[in-house]
Amino acid sequence: MTENVLQKSLHFYQSDAIAVDIYHQLNNKTNIILLPALGVAISKYDTLIQTLVQHNFNVITADYPGCGRNTPTVSADFDYGYADLLGYFIPQLVQMSKDLLDQKPVLLGHSLGGHLATLYAQHEEVDVIGIATGNIGFLNWNLKGKFNILKAVTVFNTMIYKDDYLAGYKIGFGNKEAKTLMQDWSKTVLTGHYKHIIGDEVISDNVALFIQMKNDEFAPLSSTLALSRYFKNPQIERLDLTQDIQGNQHSAWIKQPEKVVSIIQSWIKR
């Protein structure tokens, strides 16, 4: 099967046009909008995208503003937060999905993408798949995790104070990350909620699947469960890839996503 690939563009303030890749087949009945992790270019998800397409899913995706192939890059002069992605970036992807296939899309989010998908589903009709993601509130971690994530907040905000954005490439955390985005992230670590981003929080009736990776130190089970509680009846799946894939289990799965896609396919067909 050879998929058709369209490229459209969306608009985001201060950014040049943002390329949106649309992989589709005429007979496919499900659209998946892929939201990447923080600082990860969408090109890194090519194997996942191709595997989803091979399983008869349409895929719509784009790099976040200032990330990946987008210009300009994040800087002291180019800033945005969670609310901007929820209010401007994701709605344009959803509209492109509806233009392609007029049905409720699936937001598939990895890490940060899972946060965004969950928050978008608070007030919009979308299904959600969160992979290697969770509520990053420090109370959702064990003692070592609490220490590490609170240390990260301190380091990140010190760097932001100096540069007016997070130069994550200097410490192996993302690339250039927006000041307000990381301040939103930090507030969630300290409070355990997202009220500073979306106001009142609700329990969503949208259906949701969360896949938690064994030995994922960046999204442990307790964190994933805490994020899943934003849905009335979430499905939680634990996946052990430690014998199949070496390295950081938070992100190594995107290189060999077959088992992840198999879970997704079974869930979609439920």
Per-residue pLDDT of 6-58, as tens digits, reads 999 999 999 999 999 999 988 898 999 999 999 999 999 999 999 999 999 99
Residue 15: predicted pLDDT? 96
Closest CA to 125 of 136, 113, 117, 134: 117
Q: Which domains does the chain have, with CATH numbers?
A: 4-136+200-268 (3.40.50.1820)
pLDDT per residue of the chain (270 residues) written in tens, 0 to 9: 456 899 999 999 999 999 999 999 888 989 999 999 999 999 999 999 999 999 999 999 999 999 999 999 999 999 999 999 999 999 999 999 999 998 899 999 999 999 999 999 999 999 999 999 999 999 999 999 999 999 999 999 999 999 999 999 999 888 999 999 999 999 999 999 999 999 999 999 999 999 999 999 999 999 999 999 999 999 999 999 999 999 999 999 999 999 999 999 999 988
Burial class, 200, CB count within 10 angstroms (exposed 0-12 / middle 13-18 / buried 19+): exposed
Closest CA to 52 of 75, 25, 26, 71: 25
Residue 129: predicted pLDDT? 99
Cβ contact 251:219 at 8 Å = no
Residue 2: predicted pLDDT? 55
Residue 7: predicted pLDDT? 95
C-alpha span between 164 and 243 (Å, rounded): 41
